[in-house]
Amino acid sequence: MEVCLMAEDGVTPFSLLADLTAFIESTEPLAACVRPWATTLLEQMRHLPLHPVVQLMLTASLATRPATLPHAVAAMALAGAMIASLQGTPQDVRMAMLGGLLHDLGEVYIHPQYLDYGQPLDLLGQKHLVIHPRVGQMLIASLTDYPAVLARAVGEHHERLDRSGYPARLQDDELSHLGRALAVTEVALGMTRWPDAPLTRASFALRVVPGEFAPEFAAFVWDAARSSGEVPAGAAPAIDLYQQLADIDQQLVAAQQLGQELRDQGRTLPVIDIVDQAMRRLDRLRVAWNALGLWRVSSGDAPQADRFELELAHAELRLRLRSVQRECLLLSERLGEAEKLRLAPLWRGLVGPA
């Protein structure tokens, strides 16, 4: 159907050029980051090929979920600017811009109820969500004539260098150069939902767990955050945040102990594999938590900057605990009921009250 239809009006190269220009000139936090490369981005936008299938899907997405197009345009600008900042060729910049524009193309086929990021997802919702990068990759590879490197990168935009991403749990050199750029782009854009210090939040998210993101692209956001002059608003009381972080630390210890017990008792390879993977992820989180050095912060006398960092640490570590929980649940689907029951405490104890 996609190759037989064409959307009249809707998204066009001319409308995208206008949208990109408006974004660069806007007061959006990320706009200031990409503005030094505005001339390059606008010039390459004029040469960006918009395949008819892509034009149809972008138009349909705009009609059903209007917020998707501004997100795609911002991603197009940021990904292109990151590649341009590394002296990428014009072709490299165009591929990065296309990658940013199309990275969430697979969401067109995901039920809207699973794209409401303000609501927790059940296991079915998680299964729908984690597959959307692969859907986007398949659409681009099978229905367009774009280079294979573009389809591959779209499929990698939720991957992490330490195998903590999805859907394929890739690692290090298994991720393409463009895929690494799109992974950083996705995180930075996700933080723009916060009205309070989004660049500072993005910088923290990219460095809180070492080895998750490619430093050559994460540095682009770090530099932008340092030069932004953002002033965080008042954080929640330090004692409350500190206690929640302490609770996370206890949960990590308990989950590791349980994981070791389950591994010692496991009689089947799938059970041992799931436990080992969960323990590797938890070990990395404990290293990150210890590296933050937040145990030195006095909960009663913490200055504003430390209280804000406590808030960020709480949010990011909680997010990653939920990611470990999701991975355990998805991997356990192939197990029998008795094995699921044996492993249930491993993921049930990972995420306490928010």
Q: Tens digits of per-residue pLDDT, 44-59?
A: 999 999 999 999 999 9
Over the range 295-323, which residues count as b (16 or more CB within 10 Å of their CB) and which as e? eebebeebeeebbbbbbbbbbbbbebbbb
pLDDT at 253 over 60: yes
Q: What is the 3-state secondary structure of 135-192?
A: HHHHHHHHHCCCCHHHHHHHHCCCCCCECCCCCCCCEHHHCCHHHHHHHHHHHHHHHC
Q: Is 75 among the domain residues?
A: yes
pLDDT at 345 over 60: yes
5 band by pLDDT with thresholds 50, 70 and 90: low
pLDDT at 183 over 50: yes
Q: Assign 65 to helix, strand or coil.
A: coil
Rounded Cα distance between 95 and 50, Å, is: 12
- Across the chain, mean pLDDT equals 85
Query: Are 256 and 283 a contacting pair, CB within 8 Å?
Result: yes
| Mean pLDDT lowest among 6-15, 197-206, 234-243, 333-342 | 234-243
**What confidence score (pLDDT) does residue 129 get?**
81
Q: Is 2 among the domain residues?
A: no
Within this chain, do residues 214 and 253 fall inside the same structural domain, yes or no? no
- Distance of alpha carbon 111 from the chain centroid: 19
Q: Which residue has the tokens 């200031």?
A: 32
Within this chain, do residues 152 and 259 fall inside the same structural domain, yes or no? no
Query: Are 180 and 217 a contacting pair, CB within 8 Å?
Result: yes
Within this chain, do residues 209 and 255 fall inside the same structural domain, yes or no? no
354 band by pLDDT with thresholds 50, 70 and 90: very low
Tell me the residue type at 59. Answer: T
User: Using omega within 30 degrees of 0 as the cis cutoff, is the peptide bond preceding 167 cis?
Assistant: yes
The predicted-structure confidence for 128-173, as pLDDT tens digits, reads as follows 788 999 999 999 999 999 999 999 999 999 999 999 999 999 999 9
The predicted-structure confidence for 258-292, as pLDDT tens digits, reads as follows 777 877 776 666 777 788 888 888 888 878 877 87
171 phi and psi, to 5 degrees?
A: -145, 135
Rounded Cα distance between 151 and 243, Å, is: 44
**What is the pTM (predicted TM-score) of this model?**
0.88
Task: Note down the domain range covering 314.
Answer: 238-348
Greater confidence (4 vs 224) lies with 224
Question: What is the number of domains present in the chain?
Answer: 2
Within this chain, do residues 193 and 110 fall inside the same structural domain, yes or no? yes
Rounded Cα distance between 304 and 320, Å, is: 25
Within this chain, do residues 64 and 90 fall inside the same structural domain, yes or no? yes
The predicted-structure confidence for 205-223, as pLDDT tens digits, reads as follows 999 998 999 999 999 999 9
Within this chain, do residues 55 and 148 fall inside the same structural domain, yes or no? yes
pLDDT at 40 over 90: yes
Within this chain, do residues 296 and 219 fall inside the same structural domain, yes or no? no
| Mean pLDDT lowest among 86-90, 205-209, 320-324 | 320-324
What is the token pair recorded at 14?
């001319």
State the average pLDDT over residues 21-30.
95
Q: Is 353 among the domain residues?
A: no
Over the range 38-71, which residues count as b (16 or more CB within 10 Å of their CB) and which as e? bebbeebbeebebbebbbbbbbbbbeeeeebbbb
| Mean pLDDT lowest among 117-121, 171-175, 223-227 | 117-121
Rounded Cα distance between 241 and 156, Å, is: 33
Within this chain, do residues 179 and 253 fall inside the same structural domain, yes or no? no
Q: What is the DSSP string of 289-328?
A: HHHHTGGGS-TTT--HHHHHHHHHHHHHHHHHHHHHHHHH
Within this chain, do residues 73 and 160 fall inside the same structural domain, yes or no? yes
| Distance from the first to the final alpha carbon of the chain | 44
Rounded Cα distance between 331 and 87, Å, is: 41
Within this chain, do residues 174 and 41 fall inside the same structural domain, yes or no? yes
Q: Is 171 among the domain residues?
A: yes
